Amino acid sequence: MAQQSVQAGYKHILDNLATAVLVLSPTLQVRYLNPAAESLLETSLTRIQHSPVLGLFANSDHALDTLQAAASNGQSYTKREAEFTLITGARFTVDYSVSPIGLEPTDLLLEIQPRDRLLRISREEDLISQQETTRILVRGMAHEIKNPLGGIRGAAQLLDRELTGEGQREYTRVIIDEADRLRGLVDRMLGPNRAMRMAPTNIHEVLERVRTLLEAESRGELRFERDYDPSLPEFAGDKEQLIQAFLNIARNAMEAAFENTRDARPSEPPNIIFRTRALRQFTIGHRRYRLVCRVDVIDNGPGIPPELLQNVFYPMISGRANGTGLGLSITQSIIGQHHGLVECESEPGCTNFIIFLPLEDAQ
């Protein structure tokens, strides 16, 4: 009776752990999993008890590849940042440990710690730091460029007044025009040059405005899919700047979709998906927000080359011959002024720009 009470106490402890815990038989069948494991693996003990644990994973040949070794030789193993893909399609990164336990000679205790949240927070902090470093660098460079440009333009104007021959004045006008062009380029690198005009903003109105503009530009040849969460509330934002930010992303997506369907998959129409979701108790960088809007802009283009993906938000970085490399940098700046963040995931046939926008102040 006392032993049953002790076992019940252990089960109560395991059931209340935040760490996913499974107990497996020597043949790797599930004997027990706690609620944290049920949530992580998207299943229940009732459904998979006495079933092979590898049946939960789509990549079962590689998932948990240390289990057989632990069952065979009775030693503990730990693996860091393993990639799991469930049969439901969910993918995540975990650290996991396998240890023989004494309930039966070769039962295994499997502990799983999700790493996605920590990795995402670390990645977001790096992005925010890069964004701030880039902003400081660009502002310093803009100051150094604008001063001599002003002098060059002023000297060209004075020279233009002194010259009498129309052929010679043509050269001074080229200098003036090129100085103006470079000044405009520097201004675009700096992003919006006016203070934000904050007002109640509906994210779906912003996205619908962008969709309307792109449908006109594509002459109806671009297919849109909209998957909106109607429960999203209004938030304080600058509607015009947000339209510009999302237009920069969506226009890149449109060009990529047309490029891929023209060259690689001519039978597949160019397609863009707009998706919105509400995220609760979500962290952006080191700030936690009670409610955040997530917007996905997904295209079926060729994808972004891996060597560009990490630097895609830097100014002057572009994967297209005729691109300026400023659109995404400006977008990141605008979203950053709204305390949000832009991320990108890409593979051939699917590029997803993910925008996080706080709907309430940080906690």
Beta carbons of 303 and 253 less than 8 angstroms apart: no
Residue-level pLDDT at 221: 85
DSSP letter at 234 equals: P
CA distance 224 to 219: 13
In the CATH scheme, what is the code of domain 199-358?
3.30.565.10
DSSP string, 11-27: HHHHHT-SSEEEEE-TT
Residue-level pLDDT at 273: 93
Lowest mean pLDDT among 101-115, 116-130, 265-279, 284-298: 116-130
Residue-level pLDDT at 228: 95
DSSP string, 183-213: HHHHHHHH---S----EEE-HHHHHHHHHHH
CA distance 190 to 68: 56
DSSP letter at 233 equals: P
Beta carbons of 288 and 241 less than 8 angstroms apart: no
pTM of the full predicted structure?
0.62
Tens of pLDDT, residue by residue over 165-221, are: 777 788 888 888 888 888 777 776 666 666 778 899 999 999 999 999 998 888 878
In the CATH scheme, what is the code of domain 2-114?
3.30.450.20
Out of 104-118, 119-133, 329-343, give the one with best mean pLDDT: 329-343
Lowest mean pLDDT among 74-78, 110-114, 172-176, 337-341: 74-78
CA distance 126 to 34: 34
Residue 43 has which token pair? Answer: 């299943």
Percent of the chain with pLDDT over 90: 18
Residue 332's Cβ-count burial label (10 Å; 0-12, 13-18, 19+) is buried
Percent of the chain with pLDDT over 70: 78
Tens of pLDDT, residue by residue over 233-290, are: 999 999 988 998 999 899 989 988 888 666 555 567 889 999 999 988 888 877 888 8
- Going from the C-alpha of 136 to that of each of 35, 196, 208, 315, 333, the distances in angstroms are 47, 19, 33, 12, 12
Q: What are phi and psi of 311, to 5 degrees?
A: -115, 15
Q: Which helix (H) or strand (E) holds 134?
A: helix 116-162
Residue-level pLDDT at 27: 81
Out of 16-20, 51-55, 292-296, give the one with best mean pLDDT: 292-296
Q: What are phi and psi of 64, to 5 degrees?
A: 50, 45
